Amino acid sequence: MNCRQALRWATIRLLSALLVTAMLAAVLYIAEFCFWLADPQRRLPPSNQHIDKVRYSWGQPIHLNRFGFRSRELQPKPPGTFRIMVLGDSMTWGAGIAVEQRYTDILERLLNADFQTDKFEVHNFGVSGGPMILHARILEWHIGIVQPDLIIVGFCYNDADMDMKKPGDWSPEKQRFDDIYGPCLESVRGYLTSLHLAHIGVRTEKTIRRIAEACGAYPDWITVIDRTYDPNSTQWRTFVGALETIKQISDDSGL
């Protein structure tokens, strides 16, 4: 093969490599655009961020009363009023929905409509991510101010966990995985984000984590919850103790 032929083949290989690279880049950016179109949050204000001094959560404006709860201001209890105090987590707080869509607000409307009165008040003391031990403390701190006639406790599977700073699927195994591989995953996601491939970066990290979970690197969320609800676990004993505290406070108040 003479020099001219060698140069020709080198040029062909270079152009082929550039073409493949361009096609791969086109596929990635088309996929990124499709993921962006399919993202339901792109039409919503950022979650847990402030816009014009108003906090938004999943597209819903959040307004808190002077006690820090997502409920109307608490006024002195009028005579003849039947006041309900509701404790709970994000399901009670109303994550992702408007105030009027929460079950506490629906309950108040239904009670007043059924009894043709305006004497029923339902006050929402939900805390997003709050464990049962926190709900017991909230009741202890505010029951004298609220003066409820009825206490309702709403909770979900992960409310037995005591640590609000840890995600519901936290486990020692997952912590070790994050300590070892977390920085690498963050670097990959950060690099893809710098190339304007943020959605692909997020999906890449999620896929790797799902594979790691499927391979037994750390337990899934259901297994973690099962550990929490083990009658011998510290979390379960604390959860039951918090419920007993709520019951005792209710009994002491004559409810």
Q: Is it the case that residue 125 has pLDDT exceeding 90?
A: yes
226 within a domain of the structure (yes/no): no
> 131: which residues sit within 8 A by CB, 6+ positions away?
89, 159, 160, 161, 162, 163, 164, 239, 242
136 & 203 share domain: no
The answer to which of 30-39, 85-94, 106-115, 227-236 has the lowest mean pLDDT is: 227-236
Q: Does any domain span residue 225? A: no
pTM: 0.76
Looking at the structure, do residues 101 and 159 belong to the same domain, yes or no? yes
**Residue 43 falls within a domain, yes or no?**
no
191 and 90 share a domain?
Answer: no
Q: Are 148 and 57 part of one and the same domain? A: yes
Residue 76 belongs to what domain range?
49-164+231-252
Residue 59 neighbours by CB under 8 Å, 6+ apart = 41, 43, 44, 45, 47, 96
Domain co-membership, 18 together with 110: no
223 within a domain of the structure (yes/no): no
Q: What is the mean pLDDT of residues 105-127?
A: 96
Residue 137 lies in a domain: yes
Are 71 and 153 part of one and the same domain?
yes
Query: 213 Cβ partners below 8 Å, 6+ apart?
Result: 219, 220
Q: 237 and 122 in one domain?
A: yes
Rounded average pLDDT over 127-139: 90
- The answer on 201 and 96 residing in a single domain is no
On whether both 140 and 182 belong to a single domain, the answer is no
Q: Is residue 200 part of a domain?
A: yes
Tell me, what CATH number does 146's domain have? 3.40.50.1110
Number of domains in the chain: 3
Average pLDDT value for residue range 204-212: 94
- Which tens digit of pLDDT belongs to each residue from 21-56? 999 999 999 999 998 888 876 776 666 666 777 888
Claim to verify: residue 62 and residue 153 sit in the same structural domain: yes
Residue 142 pLDDT more than 80? yes
Distance in angstroms (rounded) separating the CA atoms of residues 56 and 48: 5
Tell me, what's the pLDDT at 181? 94
Least confident of 71-85, 92-106, 157-171, 183-197: 157-171
Q: How far apart are CA 73 and CA 90, in angstroms?
A: 20
Amino acid, single-letter form, for residue 247? K
pLDDT bracket for residue 60 (50, 70, 90)? confident
Q: Is residue 107 part of a domain?
A: yes
Q: Is there a single domain that holds both residue 90 and residue 214? A: no
Both tokens of 252, joined, read 């002491």
Assigned domain for 224 exists: no
pLDDT of 184 reads 94
Q: Are residues 240 and 126 in the same domain?
A: yes
- 118, pLDDT greater than 90: yes
